[in-house]
Structure formats: structure tokens, C-alpha cells
Chain A
Amino acid sequence: MTTPLLDVRNLSKTFVARRGFMGGESAVVHAVSDVSFSVAAGEAFGLVGESGCGKSTTGRAILRLVEPDSGAVLLKGEDVLAANPRRLRALRRRMQIVFQDPYSSLNPRRTIGQTLTEPMAVHGLGSARKILEAVRMVLAEVGMPIDAANKYPHEFSGGQRQRIGIARALVLRPELIVADEPVSALDVSIQAQILVLLRGLQQRHNLSFVLISHDLGVVRHFCSTVSVMYLGRIVERGPVPAIFDEPLHPYTRALRNASPVPDPKAKVIMGKLEGEVASALSPPSGCHFHPRCPHVMEICRGVYPSWVQVAPDRGVACHLYPAGIGSTVSAAAAPGR
């Protein structure tokens, strides 16, 4: 097997939360626990889950925007976590991030031109003329007029600002872009424009993406492989569309059923999933999903299920599949209670 572009192995990150009077007590939040996945060159990989599931922390840990506690992140075999500051800078040129809210991630006091040339200057890429040419090209590529370079972020709409955010990531010609909810703040018609733009860039430059989203529709449209996260852990991983058409993990199924579809005949199965996402401060024992799971068994309350690779491209962490995808699947896939 060839080396994947990005290989994430057993990544974990905990935060210490201060609570109580004047932060006198502290508690450990396992934001990301034992997360592993790999992304091939040119692949769009999706991380989905609800708020607090650890998907953004995972994205940031890959770039060391937050320092992971343990695990490994390999970019074409090179260890990102072990890199010294100089190596890290070189590695970061090859992996960039696009944020949800381009307004808060663009410096309001800098022109778009300044924002776009800065990364190139930081990485010492070429002469002033070459840099200007690169800015001109990247603006054209994201569908912005060249005179945008002389304007400030507030002069643009949300969709245009996101194009600028993408241009900033793109200007260094990275191999990987971590896109953290890149279209969540946008209206649907603008959202579609940005998704089409990202798809075009992916195909033209053989770019890899880690797309972080809570929207299953966006992920299905953009990604070829998806991991579903719940309370810091990946609970299922598989190819699109199989993971949405035949979800294995009860949580994936619940998420799929609760996702509204613009078709009155396919009403969402409303309110089926009882309870709320537990706090990451005190995740339930055993399988974190067990208090909400319609298929909960005795073992689920005490033991976290181990990862079962049910097919070469499909895996799940659930006690319903103790020995792979055998007869248990049909029983579990039967529509709920």
C-alpha cells in the first residue's frame, strides 16, 4: 500500500476545565480520544458529528493549532507532532485551514492583498513580482475580481469573504486543506457556490480535504469517505454514500434520520432519539452513546466497544457487531423499535 497523504493515528487531546468558585475545581475533558484515520492524495475526507464531538479539535490538532497529548500525525510519512519549529513551518505550508466564519478569521485592518501576500512572505516564497502574480492568480481561481486585493474584508459579503479565506489557504499551494464548517455560516445558494468552487479546486490540484461539518448533506455531497464522531471518538467510518444509506452504528442512523430532507414525503423521523448529548466532562461509562441507544445491551453500559473492521473500507465501534458485519447487521438495521 502506498503512503497516504495524511495519516492520523490514535490522536488524543484533553483539556482541563476549571469550574466551581474562582475555578477552584478542575475537570478533565477528553475532547478527542484515540482518533485514527488516513486521507489519500486528492481525497475528500469528512468528519461529522454534533457540537462538542471533537471534530474541530481533531482538525486543529492535525495542524498543531492545538497540541495533541498523544498519537501521531504523519504528512506523507513525516511526523508532524515531532517536527521542530522550522520543520513545522515548512509542513504548514503544505497543509492549510479554512474556518467557518471568514469575517473573524480575516484581519479587518488589512487589505485582501496584504492578507494574501503575508503567508508567501512568511514562507519566503519568491520576489515581490512573483508574489503579486500569485495573488492575482489565486483571486481569479476563487472567482474574485483582481481589484479585491485593494479592499478590506468589510467590503465583501459572507460568501465573498469565504472565497477570500479559501484564497488565503490556497495561495501557498498546499496539498491538504482542513476545512472547518466552511459553508455553515452561508445561505444555501451561496453555500452551493462555495461547494462547487471547492470541488473544482480539489479536482484541478489533486487537493486533499478534511471537511469538518455537522451537515450530512454537505458531507455526502463533498466527501468520498466519512468518519462519524460522538463525544470525542470515531464511532463509524465508511464510504459515501453507503455510510448514509446503510448506517451501521445506531448513532449514525439516528443522525441520518434526524437530518431534515427537503422532501415532504420523506419526513424526518422526529424526536425518535431520546435524551441529549452527554457532557464531555463526564461521558457515560462503556459506550458513550448507550444512554440514548435504542439497541442498548448489558455490555454497552460497562465496556467501550472495540473497533471492528467490517470491510476493507468500513469500520464501526459497536457491540452489535462483535464479529464483523455478519447476521447481527440485519437485525440491527431493522428500523428501530
Chain B
Amino acid sequence: MSEAGELPLAVDGLTTAFRVEGRWYDAIRDVSFSVARNETLALVGESGCGKSITALSIMGLVPKANGRITAGRVLLDGRDLVPLDETEMEKIRGNAISMIFQEPMTSLNPVLPIGFQVAEALRYHTALTGEAARARALALLEHVKVPSAARRFDDYPHQFSGGMRQRVMIAIALACSPQIILADEPTTALDVTIQAQVLALLAELKSETGMAMIFITHNLGVVASIADRVAVMYAGDLIEIAPVEELFEHPMHPYTEALLSSIPRVDRDAGDLKPIAGQVPPITAMPSGCRYADRCPLRVPRCATMPPLVGLAVDPNHQVRCWVRAADESVSA
């Protein structure tokens, strides 16, 4: 996209490889998307689809021993983050881009009080020190609705419930008013009623601050309730991207379609559950063409080569990476 410079974050042709038994394999390949201010982009897919690798690549957290970004750019306000070294990335992480993880217990330090951990982000990235940092940390905890935050400021993570710990994580992520929040399965470990509370909080904070949010999840129900746009990943490829209502109403990629009809729904009667046969190929044996081809009922010979991600004539914002479906919809680009 040409207007990449105005977007808080644009990922362009990102390819990240991992070494398995001495050989390098692409865990994600040619992933491109962008996210606008005050927009939530959901990155959705099943385990191993590359959604978390995408997040780690954006944050510069790909483990150096066995992984590397082999192509592509990550543009933060037009500036490419890929070539930056660790010192420079440390200034960006937790400042311009923050991350929220799935399991708050493992990402919070168990031996430090939670208030201290919120204030730490402020002391590190801003000029605030001592009392000022403490006061701001308390305000943040109140903002994310930790009940009686002042009294609980010096409590330790184990004294909090899962939902409250996740609120603390969100407070840390928000500490430096980031432009972008990267939330990796932030509600997956929570019970549904608590999940609903945390989703409501995130939606509220996003519209309040106008930040961009990349929300990684495997749960299409959560996607439907929080996303503005959705990017679907399969086996390391971004296969479809569309505004949320469009994606759920007119899924174009055969995988997206199959995924949607394999969810047992609480609002619908049983009987229409259609599983996807087969399984995702292992990273060491990925086909060079469309990675879904083996399981796809629409497969044609052309699928042996990788299809491009193209916009559809009916809605250029709806892009799909499929030879068959893109051709059906008379490709615009």
C-alpha cells in the first residue's frame, strides 16, 4: 500500500525463517498488512499458522539462535524496524509498540509488586521518577479498573486473579501511551465472563487513545466481537484479509470458509458442523505453492505455485490469496 507512511504500522513482504536440523524453512512468508490509527486488526489462524511468529518478527524478538527475518520490512511511522539493533529496539518496545501476552502470570515478575512493575515501564521510557512514576502507575491501574488499586499497589502477582493480572499487563502496556498494541491471545487463558470484561476494556482503551491494535487469536468468536478488519493466516501464509463483516459474510478463501463452518456455535443448532479433513503440513514439508492445496476441495494444477494476495473487484479492501477464488471474482489488480 502506498500510503504506508501515514499508517502507524505497515508490514511489507515479511518472511521469517527458522532452522530445523541444520536447514532453514520459512515459518511465515511474504506477509503484508497494515493497521490504521484507532483500528483493530485481528490476526487469526490455528496453531502453527505463524500468527505469533509475525508478532515476534514485528517486535524484533525472533530468537537469534534459530530464527531470522530473511525478507521484508516492518514500518513504524515509515521507519523500517528490521535493520535496527537490540539497543534501538529496546527504545521502541514498551514505548511506541507494546505487547500483551496470553499468560500474564509468566510475563509478570513474581517477586516484584505489581505497582512497581507498572512504574518500571515509566521509569525506563519516560523522564518520570520516584513519586511521579508511582502516581502515574496508580492512575494507570485505576484506568484499567483494578478495584481498590491504591490498596493493592504493593501486592504481588500471585495475589491477583487471572483477569486482574491481565489488567495489570494492560496497564504496563499502556504506560507509555503506545501507538500500537500487539495483543497475543490476551484472553485465551480466561473464563468467558472475564474474557468479555477484558475485551470490553481493550475496546474502550483503543477508542479512547486512538491507538492501533493488532489482536492475535485463534477464536473467531472473539474476532467477530473486537476486530475492525481480519487477516487470516494458514501455515505461514496470510491468505485473506477483509473488513470484519465482509469476512464473516463472504469468506473467499476455501480455508476461511471451511474454518467458519467447523465452529460449534452456541447460537445455532447442531448438524451443520463440517470438519476440515487432514492437517497442516509440517514446516519441513511445506508445499512450495498454496499450502492449503492438499486439503482444498477446489484444487487446480495452478495451485502448485504460490498464489498472490489480490484485491477483489467487488471490494478492493477484501484481498485473497487463492488462484480459484480470485479468478472467480474477476480480479481487479
Return B188 CB to nearest CB of chain A, in Å: 11
Q: B129 an interface residue at 8 Å Cβ cutoff?
A: no
B277's nearest neighbour on chain A, judged by CB, is A193
Which residues in A have their C-beta under 8 angstroms from that of B275?
A: 189-190, 192-193, 195-196
Q: B221 an interface residue at 8 Å Cβ cutoff?
A: yes
Stretch at the interface among B77-85, B206-214, B261-269: B261-269
Contacts A188-B220, A189-B259, A192-B274 given; indicate if A261 touches B199 (C-beta within 8 A). Answer: no
Q: B163 an interface residue at 8 Å Cβ cutoff?
A: yes
Q: A265 an interface residue at 8 Å Cβ cutoff?
A: yes
Q: Are B265 and A217 in contact (CB under 8 A)?
A: yes
Interface size on A, residues (CB 8 A): 46
Q: Are A271 and B201 in contact (CB under 8 A)?
A: yes
> Between A and B, how many residue pairs show CB distances below 8 Å?
142
B266's nearest neighbour on chain A, judged by CB, is A216
B223's nearest neighbour on chain A, judged by CB, is A262
Contacts A196-B275, A244-B266 given; indicate if A187 touches B47 (C-beta within 8 A). Answer: yes
Which residues in B have their C-beta under 8 angstroms from that of A188?
A: 46, 218, 220, 259, 262-263
Query: How far does the alpha carbon of A280 sit from the alpha carbon of B43 in the complex, in Å?
Result: 36
Query: How far does the alpha carbon of A222 sit from the alpha carbon of B273 in the complex, in Å?
Result: 11
Query: How far does the alpha carbon of A260 sit from the alpha carbon of B225 in the complex, in Å?
Result: 7
Of B161, B195, B196, B220, most A-chain CB atoms within 10 Å: B196
Which residues in A have their C-beta under 8 angstroms from that of B279?
A: 157, 159, 190
Which residues in B have their C-beta under 8 angstroms from that of A215?
A: 264
Which residues in B have their C-beta under 8 angstroms from that of A265?
A: 245
Of B161, B221, B223, most A-chain CB atoms within 10 Å: B221
Of B221, B266, B277, most A-chain CB atoms within 10 Å: B266
| A242-260 CB contacts (< 8 Å) to partner B | 244, 254-260
Return B62 CB to nearest CB of chain A, in Å: 23
Return A7 CB to nearest CB of chain B, in Å: 26
Which residues in A have their C-beta under 8 angstroms from that of B192?
A: 50, 214, 216, 255, 258-260
Return A154 CB to nearest CB of chain B, in Å: 14
A274's nearest neighbour on chain B, judged by CB, is B197
Query: Which residue of B163, B199, B264 is within 8 Å of A221 (Cβ)?
Result: B264
Query: How far does the alpha carbon of A241 sit from the alpha carbon of B267 in the complex, in Å?
Result: 9
Query: Which residue of B194, B220, B270 is within 8 Å of A276 (Cβ)?
Result: B194
Return B26 CB to nearest CB of chain A, in Å: 21
B262's nearest neighbour on chain A, judged by CB, is A192
Which residues in B have their C-beta under 8 angstroms from that of A270?
A: 196-197, 199-200, 203, 225
Q: B219 an interface residue at 8 Å Cβ cutoff?
A: yes
A244's nearest neighbour on chain B, judged by CB, is B266
A251's nearest neighbour on chain B, judged by CB, is B193
Which residues in B have their C-beta under 8 angstroms from that of A271?
A: 196-197, 199-201
A292's nearest neighbour on chain B, judged by CB, is B193
Q: B58 an interface residue at 8 Å Cβ cutoff?
A: no
Q: Are B201 and A220 in contact (CB under 8 A)?
A: no
Query: How far does the alpha carbon of A224 sit from the alpha carbon of B194 in the complex, in Å?
Result: 27
Query: How far does the alpha carbon of A271 sit from the alpha carbon of B144 in the complex, in Å?
Result: 13
Q: Are A220 and B264 in contact (CB under 8 A)?
A: yes
Which residues in B have their C-beta under 8 angstroms from that of A267?
A: 224-225
Q: A124 an interface residue at 8 Å Cβ cutoff?
A: no
Q: B258 an interface residue at 8 Å Cβ cutoff?
A: yes
Query: Which residue of B191, B199, B227, B268 is within 8 Å of A214 (Cβ)?
Result: B191
Which residues in B have their C-beta under 8 angstroms from that of A222?
A: 264, 270
Return A219 CB to nearest CB of chain B, in Å: 8
Query: How far does the alpha carbon of A256 sit from the alpha carbon of B266 in the complex, in Å?
Result: 8
Write the residues of chain A forming the contact surface with B, with a CB cutoff of 8 angstroms.
Answer: 50-51, 157, 159, 187-193, 195-196, 214-222, 241, 244, 254-273, 276-277
